[in-house]
Structure 1
């Protein structure tokens, strides 16, 4: 007898049940953008029982939390084993973006991200189609939702020594790295057992505010419209049975690669949809430093060399070894030589020719055309990559770290998992997929709430910006609904 349990740590609905409901808001995708939109809607509509909210996830339930919160995992095993076992790569099909990787599961790639949450550089935010005062409010709300802190490595001798050395060498933009990590202790029955943030936290916060409908293994194949307004989606179940779900508003948060695919396959108008695909030039280098240089109170370190106008990149400086994040059950074995990791991300120029498009001749198992990617680095991008490598060398020298030069290698495009801007926000439909509220130009009620809506991608990772804009979108939806 085969025993199969229901895996019901979060309530779900069938597509048959959801097809009998007319939703006020239907969200496609459960990553950071979809989760933040849902959480804010449930918060604002907490006492609005008549409002109907649904969320559809292409994948299944996987983990109930970020991978680093799982007791059997540390930063090494989650990255080297667990991510590979639970993700999809595209080396052969997308050779120009061969490093791309997707996680088709509830929570998406937020189950694995390293939680660095700096705000984008101010000079770039000033160019966005949203006033800075308004942006600052929503970044603050996003940081609250994500429990952003700069105290993660507080009190560590390595953190203190490295920061002093960096500052003494004139690298003044180095500071404590902001991370999405809940440092609140569990007490008096209030449990804080999921410190590393994933969008599962947002789904949970939403659930305790008000009910919503969630379906997993729900493959959205088409967005439907009528008279210039969204009417719902067509969705396939795992056994390929079709369903139609009606909605007054549809928020697509399927990812930078999947969202334009869905919109293009749906015949949604917009000459910029899929254009301006932007990632980072990325290098992950390592070096070593003698253990004897530090006190017994070694600790970990979590430093960020922030982006500046002169240096269009940032460097996350993490370690030692796997002890940036490890389980309480592990013995902390420290060698004479400690490893220091430099995870660096440089800006890439937004160019219309870098794009996601669909190829009608190449289809998935559901018969839906797959996306293709056209992507290349400009001369300026390659110059930025050289700056990144030089910045790592300078930081390592200042810190007294012996750098392994063989690791200073540019990673394949897409390896950073920071791709953005394929439905970017703007005022001109010729150069942007959505307006300043994330609504697709010319289609009432159809919105985008993932990394693809970012107007530009700075050196900072996209999750904090994505979350801030998703919360702002939810506020807009509530205002529009009256």
Structure 2
């Protein structure tokens, strides 16, 4: 019998924020026992690695399929008709078929402004096995107001170290340098030095000269190396959090391979199961604060392929940072490989993709809903999404389209025949607010330490805890808040102060 069969802490989910909890807790309490439960499988190779670390070809495709939860076959590629609609700025259903991901919500994905594609992955490492690795710092206007600027600055620095962020991985790339030289003067007004146009900070490094995005193995490190006090168990779906009198007492878990259900007791539970499945699990467990699943916010976006005047194709990404209300966008620009285009591959010019991420309005009516009479592929209440853009969001979207075209004109021109597109809502993969932290239990799910209101020992983690409207990729901030939450939990565990 291992220690982690009766662990001190159970962490539900193996993505970046769950891993940040594990790493922080074990650093602060070296003899703490931790069991991490992941509904999806391991993907082969080192636990928690990014799929880019898996050799390309059949092995990597198998990893993508294994991550797709209920979608157990390769997705069809874009058809010519779909591609033609996409480049004309229209609806392209192939954008809903993303290798390695599945759509978690049950809804009509073609019903106009209510359509929402809630993408997710089921695998060890969570979305950290598939993400781009971009780790831009948020603008200070995007910080949660439960922390002062100095606190948040320090937490972000720690998160950068934990994710092993390289600030200038693409420095010296001729294609990027040429675009930065064009765009930095155009976006200089009102920008402090740390918010200038620059190369994108990346949780990535180079192995034999090739870029490799970091997975959660970088966070967990030696915990994965036969540590008897830490166990990561794949194919283990948590069906319920067990609790009584404001205390989480354990979890009920389905071993998908053995098709058996067990109850595992513990001293504390951390739910780090993403912004859709985390609220779903709390709901299934009868933990239903008024704000649960509400205030759903995501970075709706505009994208465009551009033909560049520069000779060199950018080999990395550059970034135009958000400035809050003065510039409510986070812009990513990177090289595009013509060989990856399914039809009509241009050869005469270097290409780049331009993606403008927008900060959306926060409203409690944008929310998750749960159907207790129907079940999803894991046996949990089926979830659906209500999300509509406000009038202000529509204005922001129009401004983003104009911005996208102006950037394309500055560095070259839109690829002939291509128009800006707005991918389906949810395509950013950055879903926030459904577990939001706050000052009061009537309009938030957790306190500033991500502890669920009314509980002594139940924490939540991930982008869902973010309470602010942001345009910047939220991973760095979510890991920062996980570090803060883990420290608070460690203090309570050490002091035995787990009374509600």
- Same topology, TM > 0.5: yes
Pairing partner for 1:415 from 400, 404, 427: 427
Q: Which residue of 1 aligns with 2:215?
A: 198
Partners in 2 of 1:416 and 1:358 — Cα distance? Answer: 22
Pairing partner for 1:260 from 279, 297, 314: 279
Q: Which residue of 2 aligns with 1:34?
A: 18
1:313 aligns with 2:297: no
Give the CA RMSD over aligned residues: 3.0
User: 1:453: how far off?
Assistant: 0.9
1:281 aligns with 2:300: yes
Whether the 8 Å contact between 1:340 and 1:401 is mirrored in structure 2 is: no
Q: Deviations over 1:301-339 (max 9, x none)?
A: 421011123221111000042799xxxxxxxx9943111
Q: Which residue of 2 aligns with 1:138?
A: 155
Pairing partner for 2:354 from 342, 365, 385: 342
1:303 aligns with 2:318: yes
Change (3 A) 1:79 1:264: closer
1:110 aligns with 2:128: yes
Matches within 5 A, 1:48-447: 48=31, 51-63=32-44, 64=46, 65-72=49-56, 84-90=98-104, 93=107, 95=109, 96-125=114-143, 127-170=144-187, 173-183=196-206, 195-208=212-225, 210=227, 211-238=229-256, 239-290=258-309, 293-294=310-311, 300-308=315-323, 309-321=325-337, 335-365=347-377, 367-403=379-415, 406-447=418-459
User: 1:70: how far off?
Assistant: 3.0
Change (3 A) 1:257 1:94: farther
Q: Which residue of 1 aligns with 2:28?
A: 44
Partners in 1 of 2:162 and 2:226 — Cα distance? Answer: 14
3-state SS of paired residue (1:425):
coil
Give unmatched runs, 5+ long, in structure 2: 66-73, 76-96, 190-195, 495-500
3-state SS of paired residue (1:138):
helix
User: 1:229: how far off?
Assistant: 0.9
User: 1:177: how far off?
Assistant: 1.3
3-state SS of paired residue (2:421):
coil
Partners in 1 of 2:431 and 2:417 — Cα distance? Answer: 27
Question: Which has the higher mean CA deviation after the structures are superposed, 242-251 or 97-106?
Answer: 97-106
Partners in 2 of 1:79 and 1:284 — Cα distance? Answer: 24
Q: Which residue of 2 aligns with 1:454?
A: 466
Whether the 8 Å contact between 2:106 and 2:383 is mirrored in structure 1 is: no
Give the 4+ runs in structure 1 shifted more than 4 A. Answer: 17-20, 76-83
User: 1:371: how far off?
Assistant: 1.4
User: 1:275: how far off?
Assistant: 0.8
Whether the 8 Å contact between 1:98 and 1:412 is mirrored in structure 2 is: yes
Change (3 A) 1:209 1:241: closer
3-state SS of paired residue (2:453):
coil
User: 1:90: how far off?
Assistant: 4.7
Whether the 8 Å contact between 1:89 and 1:100 is mirrored in structure 2 is: yes
- Tell me the TM-score normalised to structure 1 length: 0.84
3-state SS of paired residue (2:432):
coil
User: 1:368: how far off?
Assistant: 3.0
Change (3 A) 1:376 1:334: closer
Partners in 2 of 1:335 and 1:194 — Cα distance? Answer: 24
* Count of residue pairs the alignment pairs up: 443
Partners in 2 of 1:395 and 1:123 — Cα distance? Answer: 24
Partners in 1 of 2:174 and 2:339 — Cα distance? Answer: 14
Whether the 8 Å contact between 1:91 and 1:97 is mirrored in structure 2 is: no
Whether the 8 Å contact between 1:286 and 1:404 is mirrored in structure 2 is: no
3-state SS of paired residue (1:388):
helix
3-state SS of paired residue (1:401):
strand
User: 1:456: how far off?
Assistant: 2.0
- Tell me the TM-score normalised to structure 2 length: 0.81
